[in-house]
Structure 1
Amino acid sequence: MAEKQFACKASEVPSDAAKIVTFGRLSLGLFKLDDGYHALLNVCPHKGAALCEGPVCGTTKQTDEREFVYERAGELVRCAWHGWEFDIRSGEFLVDRSVRTKTFPVTLEGEDIYVHI
């Protein structure tokens, strides 16, 4: 059963980057998206980099034309080491959905954010 841990105040989580929080040796990134708050393990499954310290971004959409269409702005985090992009909500790697980083449930109680670990 997951244990609820106080992470931070909602006002401490930026809308364009992660708020890094630690619980003992466990490092997590808290993200604020339009549908609420999300938490990811701050470890890239590729080579172990601090995933959540990379930029919050979007990605280019595949099209049939010779154009770049930027989509999903603010919904992805890009690992600073090798550029792997992960969905903040699901933790899935965009190129291979079988590769993922761990996600954690988050609850908001007033201004307090809790992560269930």
Structure 2
Amino acid sequence: MKHVVCKVEEMEPGSKRSIRIGSREVVLVMTGSGEYCAMRNVCPHQGARLSDGELTGTTLPSCAGEYTYGKEGGVLRCPWHRWEFDVSNGQSLFPDPRSRVKSYEVTVEDGHIVLHD
């Protein structure tokens, strides 16, 4: 099913918004690179609203004593306990495959952002 969310010009790179679709709450994100992503707006840890968190980057795997920052605007950090989720697929950056948030396909059609579920 398709859900028209908003017009393209209503979002800027690095922005996010909470959307209600039926009984579900979804967070829509426009990454720093301009990609649209959407996922459930609930942290699997203790239920915080992810839309209240920070859209940021994170430290990437690197050599000992080296810190490499990346994924700018592609990581949503839970506001309560700072769990990090890749907005492109809902996967937690914590190495536990069960710590995942359902993600949704997002497209742009006729100047509108459309969420598919």
TM-score, structure 1 normalization: 0.88
Give the CA deviation at 1:63: 2.6
In 2 relative to 1, CA 22–85 (structure 1 residues): closer, same or farther, beyond 3 Å? same
1:88 match: 87
SS of residue in 2 equivalent to 1:18: strand
> Percent identity of the aligned residues?
35
Q: What is the distance in 2 between the residues matched to 1:57 and 1:11?
A: 21
Judge which range, 5-14 or 39-48, deviates more.
5-14
Distance in 2, Cα, partners of 1:115 & 1:61: 29
Residue number in structure 1 paired with 2:16: 18
Question: For each residue in 1:19-74, what CA deviation from the matched residue of structure 2 results, as whole angstroms up to 9, or x when unmatched?
Answer: 21112331111111336311111001111110122111111123324232211111
Aligned partner letter, 2:2: K
Q: Which runs of 5+ in 2 are unaligned?
A: none
Q: Name the SS of the counterpart of 2:48 in structure 1.
A: coil
Name the Cα RMSD after superposition.
1.6
- Partner of residue 116, structure 2: 116
Trace 1:1-117 onto structure 2 (pairs within 5 A): 3-33=1-31, 34=33, 36-98=35-97, 99-117=99-117
Contact 2:11/2:30 (<8 A) preserved: yes
Query: How far does residue 111 in structure 1 lie from its aligned partner after superposition?
Result: 1.5
SS of 1:74 mapped into structure 2: strand
Cα separation, 1, equivalents of 2:11 and 2:80? 23
What is the number of residues matched between the two proteins? Answer: 115
- Structure 1 runs not aligned, ≥5 long: none
> Would the aligned equivalents of 2:105 and 2:116 in 1 still touch at CA under 8 Å?
yes
